[in-house]
Amino acid sequence: MRELRDLSPDASARGAAAGNGVLAPLPETYYDRPLLKKPHWEWEVITYLFLGGIMGGSGLLVAITDEKKDPELSRNLRYVTFALASTCPLILVKHLGRPERFLHMLRIFKWRSAMSMGVWGLIAFSAPVTAGAIGQAARDGLIPRWLRWLHPRPLTDPLTAVLGAFIGSYTGVLLSATALPLWGIGKRHIPMFSACSGIAGACAANSLILALTGGSEESIEKLERFETFAALAELALLRDFRRHAGSIGDPMFAGARGAKLTRHTEIGGIILPAVFSVLPIHGRWKTVVSSVLTLIGGYVLRETLIEAGKNSADDPRAASRQPE
């Protein structure tokens, strides 16, 4: 054994006696504590995502529908978008930590902040949508007819559609522009299936209204067919997201929450309404049931997305190497 007397004062004592200079390795995580912070987003945000998707999808539909072919639908769309554009901001203001300061959102316009863009997008959207509601109400005789001149449709309808498309999909971008691994890895998927879900939801909501108010069956049928396209696209995107996310997707696709998503959104909200739409059943109640299933599916999707995202913040291993 090496004589310890030979140690010079400068020899590092640590490890020298045992003949190695290696220190103990450190643990892989910090007590398994979350590395990231989860957002304080509860039912207000989930509801906004859900209603905002319908709002955006409805805005898109405003331009897609031909007023002459589907006048009732066209009319409903204008009121629906206006109603949603009036209430959604209130939900958002309520969930602020300092609601009395909501106007501070207008201090800047920052295109690199999805939330800033969303705020301005909502404000921008409310302009043509309000004009649309005014014009519609004027044409419906609810308010003085001359006010219809405030609604130049060739100008406002495309704006409504483009801004509506933005509203329906920007929230997906907003989510993935955070550090949370589940949302980050879905930077392409989430905006896409959010948009699809918003459009499907808009179709479902509007066909529900038509069904309950005795509207045109032809309009309902068109909505249902469009809804099927959007919903199937949504399903395909969800399934591809599941594959792409791998284990990072577990908070969303595995366990009880994943089972709920499959049950309420994939099966209940997409497959069943699609099946209904091809079955030779007729009647308003089919539309009502089918639409409600779609809407539930849309809500559950948003809820799952938010809750699963918050969960993914808890996993320090997933949060350590963040997706590009």
Partner 1 sequence: MASGFFTDTTLCIGCKACEVACKQWNELPADGYAFTGDSYDNTGALGGTTWRHVAFIESTPDAPGAPPTMNRWVMMSDVCKHCTNAGCMEACPTGAIIRNEFDDVFIQPDVCNGCGYCVPSCPFGVVDLIDHQVIQPRFASDGRTDDNAVQTHGGVAGKCTLCYDRQKVGLVPACAKACPTDSIQFGDVDELKDRARKRVADLQSRGVDASLYGVDEKTSVGDLNAFFLLTGPPAAYNLPERPVLPSTRQPAGYVSAALAVTGLALIGLALFRRESA
Partner 2 sequence: MPGLGTSFGRGGATTFVQDLVNSDCILIEGSNFAECHPVAFRFVMEAKERGAKIIHVDPRFTRTSAVADVYAPIRSGSDIVFLGALINWLLENERYFREYVVAFTNASYIVREDFQDTEDLDGMFSGFIDPDDTTADGQDRSKYASFGNDAAKPVPGNYDTSSWQFETDEVPRYDGNGTVKVPKRDDTLQHPRCVINVMRRHFARYTAEMVEEACGTPRETFLEIANLLADNSGRERTTAFAYAVGWTQHTVGVQYIRTASILQLLLGNIGRPGGGIMALRGHANIQGATDIPTLYDSMPGYLPMPSALRNEQTLADYLKSVTKPTGWWANTPKYVVSLLKAYYGDHATKDNDFAFDYLPQISGDHSTLPTQIAMKDGEIKAYFVIGMNPAASGFNAELARAAMDKLEWMVNIDAYETESASFWRREGVDPTTIGTEVFFLPSSTILEKEGTMVNTNRLLQWHDKAVHAPGDTRSDLYLFHQLGLRLKALYADSTDPKDRPIQAMTWDYPHEDPHEHDLGEPSARKVLMEVNGYRVEPGKPGYDCPQVTAFTELADDGSTAAGGWIYSGVYPDKQTNRARNRTGDEWTSLDWGFAWPANRRMLYNRASADPDGKPWSDRKTYMQWDEQQKKWTGPDIPDFPATKSPHEPAKPGASGVDAHSGANPFIMQLDGMGALFVNGALKDGPLPAHYEPMESVVGNPLYGQQSNPTLREWDRDDNPYNGRENPDYPYVLTTYRLTEQSGIMTRYVPWLAELQPSLFAEIDPDLAVEKSIRNGDWVTIATALGQIEARALVSGRMKPLRIGKGKDRRLIHQIGVPYNYGSLGYATGDSIGTLIPLALDPNVSIHEAKTLSCTIRVGRRTSGPNARVDEPVPANQVSDWGASRPHGRDEAPV
Site for partner 2 in 5-34 (CB under 8 A): 5, 7-10, 12-14, 16-17
Sites for partner 1 among residues 203-242 (CB under 8 A):
218, 222, 225-226, 229-230, 233, 237
Interaction between residue 5 and partner 1 (CB under 8 A): no
The listed partner (partner 1, partner 2, none) that binds 283, CB under 5 to 8 Å by sort, is none
- Residue number, 7 or 155, with CB nearest to partner 2: 7
Residues 140/24, Cβ–Cβ less than 8 Å: no
- Residue number, 9 or 154, with CB nearest to partner 2: 9
Handedness of CA 274, 303, 213, 86 (dihedral sign): negative
Sites for partner 2 among residues 187-216 (CB under 8 A):
none
Residues 77/62, Cβ–Cβ less than 8 Å: yes
Amino acid at 234: E
Closest listed residue to residue 77, CA positions, set 92, 67, 90, 89? 67
- Residue number, 9 or 21, with CB nearest to partner 1: 21
Q: Angle at Cα 57 formed by Cα 56 and Cα 60, nearest 5°?
A: 90
Residues 230/200, Cβ–Cβ less than 8 Å: yes
The listed partner (partner 1, partner 2, none) that binds 5, CB under 5 to 8 Å by sort, is partner 2
Binding residues with partner 2: total (CB under 8 A): 11
Alpha helices, H only, 15-70: 43-64
The listed partner (partner 1, partner 2, none) that binds 188, CB under 5 to 8 Å by sort, is partner 1
Options 1-9, 56-64, 138-146, 208-216: segment touching partner 1 (CB under 8 A): 56-64
Q: What is the DSSP secondary-structure string of 216-277?
A: -HHHHHHHHHHHHHHHHHHHHHHHHHHHHHGGGGHHHHSHHHHHHIIIIIIIIIIIHHHHHH
CA separation for the pair 302, 313 (Å, rounded): 17
Interaction between residue 115 and partner 1 (CB under 8 A): yes
1, 4, 22, 256: which one contacts partner 1 (CB under 8 A)?
22
- Residue number, 138 or 171, with CB nearest to partner 1: 171
The burial class, CB within 10 Å (0-12 / 13-18 / 19+), for 13 is exposed
Classify 31 in phi/psi space as left (phi over 0), alpha (psi -120 to 50) or beta.
left
The listed partner (partner 1, partner 2, none) that binds 263, CB under 5 to 8 Å by sort, is none
Interaction between residue 97 and partner 1 (CB under 8 A): yes
- Residue number, 24 or 256, with CB nearest to partner 2: 24
Closest distance of CB 58 from partner 1, Å = 12
Options 25-33, 138-146, 254-262, 263-271: segment touching partner 1 (CB under 8 A): 25-33
Site string for partner 1, 285-314 (x = CB under 8 A): ------------------------x---x-
- For 263, residues 6+ apart whose C-beta sits below 8 A from its C-beta are none
What letter does residue 26 receive in the DSSP assignment? P
188, 239, 260, 286: which one contacts partner 1 (CB under 8 A)?
188
- Residue number, 25 or 141, with CB nearest to partner 2: 25
116, 123, 244, 267: which one contacts partner 1 (CB under 8 A)?
116
Closest distance of CB 22 from partner 2, Å = 16
- For 269, residues 6+ apart whose C-beta sits below 8 A from its C-beta are 231, 293, 294, 295, 296, 297, 298, 300, 301
Q: Which residues bind partner 2 (CB under 8 A)?
A: 4-5, 7-10, 12-14, 16-17
